[in-house]
Structure 1
Amino acid sequence: MKPITLFPLEGIPLVRPGDDLVALLAEALARRGGPRTGDVLVVAQKIVSKAEGRFVRLSEVTPSPRALELAQITGKDPRLIEVILWDTAEVLRVRPGLIIVEHRLGFVCANAGVDRSNVAPEGEEIVLRLPEDPDRSARQIREGLARRFGVEVGVVIADSHGRAHRKGVIGVAIGVSGLPALEDWRGRRDLFGYVLQHTEVALGDLVASAATLLLGQAAEGIPAVLIRGLSFLPRESTARELVRARAYDLFR
């Protein structure tokens, strides 16, 4: 088994709405010697959202009656709750300080991914929504890099999520292009010849979580990571492959 190497892409400036994200990533990759076919680029969700202008100024938000109701329970700003509801398919759990929802993209997370950290200077009431279509964003980055460098790389857009029954956040894939989000290992044999019956590997999440060790959660300033040496069969995929269908979700 060959080693897997992670390269932090440094020197990417603060991203603003309308910035050419592919160009910024390409410049950072060029400083690292450029990508190779089979590499995977993991990009932090925040810089994708920022480039796509997914900012919301809370002073411009009018809370709905539902937002006011949930704000009473959670103790959160009703304007923030309203923004969360914009991206919510269903509110699943509510208690003081917490709102868990099914995002309109299918996955379950806190606050519909709406975030304040690393978004704006302290005191400015601005929040950031997830990209409108992270799979599309990943595909556009992959296609843009292929045009610039002439090589095929996989792209994962990573966000930090909590998990049921476990403490702490980890990196998960919310957008995938050019590699399998989910690998089906059923039919493979283990060391003793046993044929695997149920094993599926969340490759997109594994890649996102590994890269998050370098992306960090606070002031690291590393918004993208290049991964080299990963073995996979390239194919077009989406992060929706990782979402468990409601019929098989035993925890709702």
Structure 2
Amino acid sequence: MEIIPIHLERESSRFDIYEKIVKNNQGISIEDFDVLVISSKYLAIGEGRIKKLSDVNPSQEAVLMAKKYHIDPKMMELIIRESDEIFGGLYGFVLTSVQNILAPNAGIDKSNIPTDHVVLYPKHPYESVETLRNKFLIDCGKKIGIVLSDSRILPMRKGTTGVALACSGFEPVIDLKGTKDLFGNVLKYTSQNIADCLASIGTMIMGESDASTPVIILRGLKIKFTNRPISSESLGIESKYDIYIRGLRGKIS
């Protein structure tokens, strides 16, 4: 496998992400069966998913929750608007679900963006990457896969890793049920999340601060490419089936 980082200029307003990738200053071309790992924040900025905090009017609910969790009321209002579920929280953070992904503060990001502004998650991430993948197919004649990545901390682990906010062009999960391990034991429950694994590779190369590498090409992968539309149900599960949420429900305050 070959890993090819694409260095692009930092953006703080809406732009055409397809044009940025195709016309990159490094002269890197996209090839058939490449997988692009794209920063979800970079795509969100391209779609104009930027909010100015001073323009947000917090509701009474947001004011009360902000006081409880010591969060700016305007930020809390955005968290409420963007979340599918709010499970609870602690000082400075609220644990939420956004499009079947567990995310602190609804994934809203204040880093590498002008003061008083925040970046929200893409509104329809699966549709966005599917549209982008089809544009590469139609305009460039290239069949590719795309992973929209975000960084995440795991329970009881230090540091961040990657998670796939959405993907397109390949089967994101391999079902290993019925196969045997090295000792001949039949696996009953195991499946492998290919999309999250690829997101982690991308996140490692992209970095977390000022690396300005929002797109990574993964070349030579042995994965199953597909033209079928991928949805959030392919990667996520409902909170009522999640072992962490089920185990902690009622204990998050």
Normalising by structure 1, report the TM-score.
Answer: 0.90
Corresponding residue to 1:45 among 35, 40, 43: 40
Matched ranges for 1:107-122 at <5 A: 107-120=101-114
Q: Indicate if the aligned counterparts of 1:173 and 1:208 stay in contact, CA closer than 8 A.
A: yes
State how far apart, in whole Å, the 2-side matches of 1:55 and 1:147 are.
29
State how far apart, in whole Å, the 2-side matches of 1:172 and 1:186 are.
23
Corresponding residue to 1:244 among 229, 237, 242: 237
State how far apart, in whole Å, the 1-side matches of 2:123 and 2:85 are.
17
What SS does the corresponding residue of 1:28 show, helix, strand or coil? coil
Q: Find the counterpart in structure 2 of residue 35 from structure 1.
A: 30
Corresponding residue to 1:62 among 48, 57, 64: 57
What SS does the corresponding residue of 2:23 show, helix, strand or coil? helix
Counterpart residue type for residue 61 of structure 1: V
Corresponding residue to 2:11 among 12, 15, 20: 15
Corresponding residue to 2:160 among 169, 176, 189: 169
State how far apart, in whole Å, the 2-side matches of 1:8 and 1:165 are.
30
Normalising by structure 2, report the TM-score.
Answer: 0.90
Q: Indicate if the aligned counterparts of 1:156 and 1:175 stay in contact, CA closer than 8 A.
A: yes
Q: Indicate if the aligned counterparts of 1:49 and 1:130 stay in contact, CA closer than 8 A.
A: yes
Corresponding residue to 1:140 among 131, 139, 148: 131
The answer as to 2:148 corresponding to 1:157 is yes
Counterpart residue type for residue 34 of structure 2: D
Matched ranges for 1:226-241 at <5 A: 226-235=217-226, 236=228, 237-241=230-234
Aligned length: 243
Q: What is the root-mean-square deviation in Å for CA atoms of aligned residues? A: 1.8
State how far apart, in whole Å, the 2-side matches of 1:154 and 1:30 are.
21
Q: Which runs of 5+ in 2 are unaligned?
A: 246-253
Q: Indicate if the aligned counterparts of 1:63 and 1:82 stay in contact, CA closer than 8 A.
A: yes
1:193, CA displacement in angstroms?
Answer: 4.2
State how far apart, in whole Å, the 2-side matches of 1:168 and 1:244 are.
24
Deviations along 1:145-192, one digit per CA (max 9) or x if unpaired, are 112321210001101122223232211100110012211122334344
State how far apart, in whole Å, the 2-side matches of 1:150 and 1:61 are.
43
Q: Find the counterpart in structure 1 of residue 97 from structure 2.
A: 102
Deviations along 1:132-152, one digit per CA (max 9) or x if unpaired, are 011111111111111232121
Q: Indicate if the aligned counterparts of 1:29 and 1:35 stay in contact, CA closer than 8 A.
A: no
Counterpart residue type for residue 58 of structure 1: L
Percent same amino acid among aligned pairs? 28
State how far apart, in whole Å, the 2-side matches of 1:9 and 1:152 are.
19
State how far apart, in whole Å, the 1-side matches of 2:33 and 2:26 are.
16
What SS does the corresponding residue of 2:9 show, helix, strand or coil? coil
Q: Indicate if the aligned counterparts of 2:14 and 2:48 stay in contact, CA closer than 8 A.
A: yes
Q: Indicate if the aligned counterparts of 2:100 and 2:232 stay in contact, CA closer than 8 A.
A: no
Counterpart residue type for residue 31 of structure 1: G
State how far apart, in whole Å, the 1-side matches of 2:221 and 2:148 are.
17
Q: Which runs of 5+ in 1 are unaligned?
A: none
Counterpart residue type for residue 94 of structure 1: G
Which stretch shows the higher mean deviation, 236-245 or 19-28? 236-245
What SS does the corresponding residue of 2:61 show, helix, strand or coil? helix
